[in-house]
Amino acid sequence: VGRSTWAAWAVDATAAGVATGLLMTIGDDFFGPAYEPETTVTQVCTWAATGAAVLALAIAVVGRHPPRATGAGFVALALIAPGVASVGTAPAWLRIIAVVAGSALALAIARFTDAVLGARSRVADVALAVATIVALTVRLLFRDPFRELRCAPYCGDNPLLLAARPQWVTTADRVLAAVTVCWSVAAAVLIVRTRPSTWVRTTSALAVAAAAIFAVTWWAQPGLTIWGDPTQRVTIVPPLLLTVALLLATYPDVQAWRTRRQVRKLATDLATGHSSGGVAGHLQQVLRDGSVRFLFPLATDGYLDVAGHGAARDPQLTATTIERDGQAVALVEHQPESSGLLRATLTPAVTIVVENERLRALALAELDELRASRRRIVERADETRRRLERDLHDGAQQRLLLLGMQLARAAATAPPSERNRYVDAIRHTQDALDELRTLVHERLPPVLHELGLVEALRSLAETAPIPVLIEDDLPAGHRPAIGIERALYGLAVSVIAGGAARGASKATIFVGERSGRLTATVTRDGTGPIDPTDDEDRIGAAGGSLAVTIATNDVEYVASFP
Can you give the binding site for another protein, defined by CB under 8 A? 390, 393-394, 397-399, 401-402, 404-409, 412, 426, 429-430, 433, 437, 445-447, 449-451, 455-456, 458-459, 461-469, 506
CA distance 560 to 544: 5
- The least distance separating another protein from the CB of residue 499, rounded to whole angstroms, comes to 12
- The least distance separating another protein from the CB of residue 411, rounded to whole angstroms, comes to 9
- The least distance separating another protein from the CB of residue 434, rounded to whole angstroms, comes to 8
Q: Indicate the residue among 394 and 513 with the shorter CB distance to another protein.
A: 394
DSSP 414-468: S-HHHHHHHHHHHHHHHHHHHHHHHHHHTTS-HHHHHH-HHHHHHHHHHH-SS-E
- The least distance separating another protein from the CB of residue 426, rounded to whole angstroms, comes to 6
According to DSSP, the β-strands at 507-514 and 468-472 are parallel
Q: Indicate the residue among 104 and 408 with the shorter CB distance to another protein.
A: 408
- The least distance separating another protein from the CB of residue 274, rounded to whole angstroms, comes to 48
- Would you give the DSSP letter of residue 358? H
Angle at 29 between CA 23 and CA 33, to 5 degrees: 140
In angstroms, how far is the first alpha carbon of the chain from the final one? 63
Please name the residues in contact with 508: beta carbons below 8 A apart, sequence gap of 6 or more.
468, 469, 470, 471, 521, 522, 523, 524
Please name the residues in contact with 395: beta carbons below 8 A apart, sequence gap of 6 or more.
none
Q: Indicate the residue among 319 and 500 with the shorter CB distance to another protein.
A: 500
Q: Indicate the residue among 290 and 395 with the shorter CB distance to another protein.
A: 395
Q: Indicate the residue among 205 and 468 with the shorter CB distance to another protein.
A: 468
Rg (CA), the chain: 45
Positive/negative CA dihedral, 8, 14, 20, 23: negative
- The least distance separating another protein from the CB of residue 424, rounded to whole angstroms, comes to 13
Question: HSE of 45 in the Cβ direction (CA atoms, 13 Å)?
Answer: 18
Q: Indicate the residue among 94 and 408 with the shorter CB distance to another protein.
A: 408
Tell me the CA distances in angstroms from 98 to 141, 142, 215, 227, 476, one per residue in order. Answer: 11, 10, 10, 20, 84
Residue 126's closest CA among 294, 224, 245, 34? 245
**Identity at 135, one-letter amino acid code:** A
Q: Indicate the residue among 234 and 461 with the shorter CB distance to another protein.
A: 461
Q: Indicate the residue among 222 and 446 with the shorter CB distance to another protein.
A: 446
Q: Indicate the residue among 194 and 508 with the shorter CB distance to another protein.
A: 508
Residue 107's closest CA among 138, 128, 124? 128
- The least distance separating another protein from the CB of residue 467, rounded to whole angstroms, comes to 4
CA distance 141 to 214: 9
- The least distance separating another protein from the CB of residue 407, rounded to whole angstroms, comes to 7
CA distance 12 to 19: 11
Q: Is the bond preceding 153 in cis, omega lying within 30 degrees of 0?
A: yes
Positive/negative CA dihedral, 452, 455, 458, 462: negative
Angle at which helices 237-272 and 197-220 pack, to 10 degrees? 140
Q: Indicate the residue among 366 and 394 with the shorter CB distance to another protein.
A: 394
CA distance 556 to 527: 11
- The least distance separating another protein from the CB of residue 498, rounded to whole angstroms, comes to 16
- The least distance separating another protein from the CB of residue 510, rounded to whole angstroms, comes to 13
Long-range contact list for 219-222, CB < 8 A, 24+ apart?
220/90, 220/91, 220/94, 220/95, 220/98, 221/88, 221/89, 221/90, 221/141
- The least distance separating another protein from the CB of residue 399, rounded to whole angstroms, comes to 7
Q: Indicate the residue among 537 and 554 with the shorter CB distance to another protein.
A: 554
Q: Indicate the residue among 73 and 499 with the shorter CB distance to another protein.
A: 499
Angle at 444 between CA 440 and CA 446, to 5 degrees: 85
- The least distance separating another protein from the CB of residue 538, rounded to whole angstroms, comes to 22
